Amino acid sequence: MKGIDKMFRSFAENNEDLVIFFNPALKINYVNPAYGKLFGISADKLQGRSFLPFIAEDDRSRIQRILESIDYANPSTRHQERAITINGVKWLEWVVKGIFSKQGKLENLFGIGRDITNNKILEDDLRSIKKRYQNGEIVGGVGNWEFDLTTGNFWGSSGAIRLYGFPPDRDTLTAEEVESRIPDRDRVHQALIDLIERETPYDLEFEILPLDREEPRIIKSQAVVERDIDDKPLKVTGVIQDITHQKAAEENLRLSEERFKLAVEGSRDGLWDWNLITNKAYHSDRFATMLGYEPDELPYTSVAWSELLHPDDKKKAFQTVEDYLQGKTKEYESTFRMKCKDGYYRWISGRGKAIRDENGKPYRFVGFNTDITKRKNVEGAYLKSEERFHKLNDSLAEGVFLFNDEGKIIDANQAAQDILGLSTTELKNRFSTLSISRLFHEDGSQYSDADNPVIKSLRNGETCRNVIMGFINPRKKGDVWISVNSTPIYEGNRSQPINAYAIFEDVTEIRKSEQKLQELQAELSALKSQDN
């Protein structure tokens, strides 16, 4: 020991890491000052004592087994433990090496330790972030993927693994596994080649056959390619989203819109119908969606038009309407820019006809808006535009809620606020799944705790899909109908959910489309009769 002491002490005394020398009975022969400082006991007073009492009780037996496993064939070990220090419980990482006699007998052990508490905290934070991210993918029906062009390795997130129907315990996917679930793999593969070789935008919709179900799903996939400073492609990163329900809804809307288009010949774009007496204004879905809005995001008044006009176009646009309504011009046709939801402007052509009373006073104004941005660009007009990939939650047109374990809303995205007509603050103050009495079934009966999807997720851990719920929007007339998906969120080993996500979409227009169509057909027939 004395021969070792000189070399050993010269190494240990000024080392910031923890240094310990102990015998097979786990009694301390030597510790450096850093060790004593951590536990608030001088190094001299620790000699001859067991260090086991400094280890958290839940870890002691495990550490004993690890140290007892050290022998000539297994001379060292690396392990982590929780230690009871002068500043509370800390995580330590140890490398311990046995010191053996010439006959191979274990005589002493030498260990170097380091405080890794901050690393463990970061690891826990990263796990929590990853869990929230994975929950977000599940609720949103999205996934991410990456293809390394230098190694040929393919990576898929947990959301992507779920969408393709592979077991959730899989770490990742291979490119071959993914392509095997895509019937139209040649088209998808060619689109990837075009992106890499020609920088052709990769924005696809295609069908997949998930491994865990018989029915196909429809996927929307977008991707970008990353290159080095020499413009050599390095990897492709993409996002996928399950749009099966969206496509089904679109098909229902398409059938209604097909009949609608037959009734409004030539009106391939946004229809508007402005009551000049009440200032109420109906607008079709296309009127809003051509600007990036959902239909109910725009008010059903003339403000839906006037407040979105470009400041430089307002005066002329207002004057054109005024001149026509006053009879100074025989026809109404106007060109102006309107602000989109993303903050940019699109060029619009407006055409319309006024309905007048027996005295020639206009009381109704009906027409169409057409997006002519591409034509204006061809003609040389400059249009500022930039497409950005928005974060998952903000890019969703569907509303998203996060509930705490008491059923209270603790967060809501913009779409949720718009659909419900309330701000995040109002939602947090007024809405709780345990107190809402305004939610009702399609037959008009109130939702109870037993059939409320969010309460099911919080209390029973159920995942609920496509639950139709009605409610009265406090800032709009008429009932609003939503389709709700909810899922529980767990933490650690807790058996009870700590949160629940709910994602919902406004399906009011689907329910109203038939009624709207009938009304519009009658109104347009009246207009045509007057024109004739």
Per-residue pLDDT reduced to its tens digit, 346-368? 999 999 999 999 988 999 998 88
pLDDT at 267 > cutoff 60:
no
Q: Which one is predicted more confidently, 1 or 228?
A: 228
Q: Report residue 429's pLDDT band, with 50, 70 and 90 as the boundaries.
A: low
Instruction: Please tell me the number of Cα atoms within 13 Å of 39 on its side-chain side.
Output: 24
pLDDT at 432 > cutoff 70:
no
Q: Which one is predicted more confidently, 255 or 67?
A: 67
pLDDT (average), residues 448-455: 84
Please provide the CATH number assigned to the domain covering 139-242.
3.30.450.20
Q: Calculate the average pLDDT of the chain.
A: 83
Q: Report residue 390's pLDDT band, with 50, 70 and 90 as the boundaries.
A: very low
User: How far apart are alpha carbons 22 and 94 in whole angstroms?
Assistant: 13
User: How far apart are alpha carbons 462 and 158 in whole angstroms?
Assistant: 20
Return the CATH number of 248-385, one of 3.30.499.10, 3.30.450.20, 3.40.190.10, 3.10.450.50.
3.30.450.20
Q: Which one is predicted more confidently, 146 or 475?
A: 146
Q: Does domain 396-511 have CATH number 3.30.450.20?
A: yes
Smallest CA-to-CA distance from 183 within 219, 159, 137, 138 is with 219
Coil, strand, or helix at residue 443? coil
Q: Report residue 392's pLDDT band, with 50, 70 and 90 as the boundaries.
A: low
Smallest CA-to-CA distance from 487 within 506, 510, 462 is with 462
Label residue 75 exposed, middle or buried (CB < 10 Å: 0-12, 13-18, 19+): middle
Smallest CA-to-CA distance from 481 within 443, 454, 517, 509 is with 509
Q: What tokens does 425 get?
A: 């603050």
pLDDT (average), residues 399-412: 83
Least confident residue range of 210-214, 301-305, 524-528: 524-528
pLDDT the model gives residue 224: 92
Is 70 within 8 Å of 76 (Cβ atoms)? Answer: yes
Alpha-carbon distances of 259 from 191, 249, 256, 516, rounded to whole Å = 34, 16, 5, 11
Alpha-carbon distances of 296 from 304, 496, 504, 506, 508, rounded to whole Å = 10, 37, 14, 9, 9
* Adjacent-strand bridge partners of 83: 55, 90
pLDDT the model gives residue 3: 45
Q: How many residues does the chain have?
A: 532
Return the CATH number of 2-115, one of 3.30.450.20, 3.90.930.12, 3.40.50.720, 3.40.50.2020.
3.30.450.20
Phi first, then psi: give them for residue 281, nearest 5 degrees.
-140, 120
**What residues contact 327, with CB distance under 8 A and at least 6 apart?**
360
Selection from 183-192, 378-387, 433-442 with the highest mean pLDDT: 183-192
pLDDT at 1 > cutoff 50:
no
- Delimiting residues of CATH 3.30.450.20 domain(s) in the chain: 2-115, 139-242, 248-385, 396-511
pLDDT at 389 > cutoff 50:
no
**What residues contact 430, with CB distance under 8 A and at least 6 apart?**
422
Question: How many other β-carbons are positioned within 10 Å of the β-carbon of residue 108?
Answer: 17
First to last CA, the chain: 114
pLDDT (average), residues 506-519: 72
pLDDT the model gives residue 387: 43
pLDDT the model gives residue 10: 73
Element of type H or E holding 418: helix 414-420
**What residues contact 143, with CB distance under 8 A and at least 6 apart?**
137, 156, 157, 158, 159, 160, 161, 162, 163, 239, 240, 241
Tokens 């809303």 -> residue: 409
- Which one-letter DSSP state was computed for residue 297? G
Smallest CA-to-CA distance from 207 within 216, 198, 199, 197 is with 216
Alpha helix positions (H), 199-313: 244-263, 285-289, 303-306
**What residues contact 320, with CB distance under 8 A and at least 6 apart?**
329, 332, 334
Q: Report residue 374's pLDDT band, with 50, 70 and 90 as the boundaries.
A: confident
pLDDT above 90 covers a percentage of the chain that reads 30
Smallest CA-to-CA distance from 392 within 164, 168, 133, 157 is with 133
